[in-house]
Amino acid sequence: MRQVDLGVDIGSLRLSNPVLTASGTFGYGLEFRSFGDISALGGIVVKGTTLEPRAGNRPQRVVETAAGMLNSIGLENPGVDYFLTHYLPELRDLGVTTIVNMAGNTVEEYCRLTERLQQPGVAALELNISCPNVKAGGMAFGTSETAVYEVVGQVKRHTSLPLIVKLSPNVTDIASIAQAAEAAGADAISLVNTLLGMAVDTRTRRPILGNVVGGLSGPAIKPVALRMVWQVAQAVRVPVIGLGGIMTANDALEFIICGASAVQIGAANFIEPGTAWQVIDGIASYLREQGLSSVRELVGSLQF
């Protein structure tokens, strides 16, 4: 069988293939070992990590929707120290490319968390800027070019690791937000995070989610995510990582053709836990069928 090169570069980080798992959908990777070799994935973006443990939002936290799901987990996690002590050593021993998704409510929190994560075995950092900036009245960092520039610039000063900035789709001009992140020092851009949505119980006339609103993910958001990835890939020079409703290899290929150097599998992990490995195989098969030797030849190859 003809060999193809699936390797891609995300800043200084070399991935063996372009398929990552999205934060909050794959746990810490160790939970999925019965479904495949997790070290064979391009990488794992672990569950959102904060400085201190978080209990998360009150239930109900998840609602199934048409072609997707709403979640309002609230960044429940055991905190960075627990991650470094209990999860990172095993991931490191298994040879897993580990990317840590970071969350915080102030620039200072992000910076302190970044410093704690300068550890062997952490391959890169993903900065979640969909978090509320408590010093700016609760407005999400990622909805303001000024706030994006500030938090990315400050975090970048505290790390030599590749810094991936994860963008929220809940903005009017995604390209300008991406450009602000790039100007502040982002090594790559990942998008999109979930879209804000809600669901109502008509019997009680109350919101189903305990937090009222939550993040919409799954196939329903793919066309929006694909459009935003295409726009951002044209607006920045750093690599773009696409996510949002990727369920199959063909979905992933669409994102790559639109300019994504890599992709993340999210909601699909809840439906078919082996999806990430299937997508890797599917991309390789497509390259062979198309007579391409490298996945890099496909990035941004959309024709008009």
CATH number assigned to the domain comprising residue 291 = 3.20.20.70
Q: Does any domain span residue 64?
A: no
Q: Does any domain span residue 221?
A: yes
Q: Which residues contact 154 (CB under 8 A, 6 or more apart)?
A: 107, 110, 111
Mean pLDDT of the chain: 96
pLDDT tier, 138 (very low <50, low <70, confident <90, very high otherwise) = low
Helices (H) and strands (E) in the chain, counts: 9, 16
Q: Is the pLDDT of residue 279 over 60?
A: yes
pLDDT at 1: 65
- What is the rounded average pLDDT of the residues 132-151? 81
pLDDT at 134: 61
pLDDT at 213: 94
pLDDT at 133: 61
Q: Is the pLDDT of residue 136 over 80?
A: no
First to last CA, the chain: 32
Q: Does any domain span residue 206?
A: no
pLDDT at 249: 98
Contact 164, 127 (CB under 8 A): yes
Q: What φ, ψ does residue 198 adopt, rounded to 5°? A: -155, 165
Identify residue 135 by its one-letter amino acid code.
Answer: K
pLDDT tier, 2 (very low <50, low <70, confident <90, very high otherwise) = confident
Q: List residues with catalytic annotation.
A: 131
| Distance of alpha carbon 20 from the chain centroid | 8
pLDDT at 302: 98
- What is the rounded average pLDDT of the residues 112-125? 98
- What is the rounded average pLDDT of the residues 249-255? 98
pLDDT tier, 186 (very low <50, low <70, confident <90, very high otherwise) = very high
Q: Which residues contact 27 (CB under 8 A, 6 or more apart)?
A: 46, 47
Q: Does any domain span residue 234?
A: yes
Q: Which residues of 76-97 are buried (b: 16+ CB within 10 A; e: fewer)?
A: ebbebeebbeebbeebeeeebb
Check whether the bond before 192 is cis (ω within 30° of 0): yes
Q: Does any domain span residue 304?
A: no
And the tokens for 192?
Answer: 């999109």
pLDDT at 130: 87
pTM summary value: 0.97
pLDDT tier, 137 (very low <50, low <70, confident <90, very high otherwise) = low
- Compute the radius of gyration of the chain from its Cα atoms: 18
Q: What are the distances in angstroms from CA 19 to CA 35, 139, 160? A: 16, 31, 23
Q: Does any domain span residue 302?
A: no
- What is the rounded average pLDDT of the residues 181-194? 98
How many domains in the chain?
A: 1
Domain that holds residue 175: 8-56+75-196+217-297
- What is the rounded average pLDDT of the residues 217-246? 98
Q: Does any domain span residue 85?
A: yes
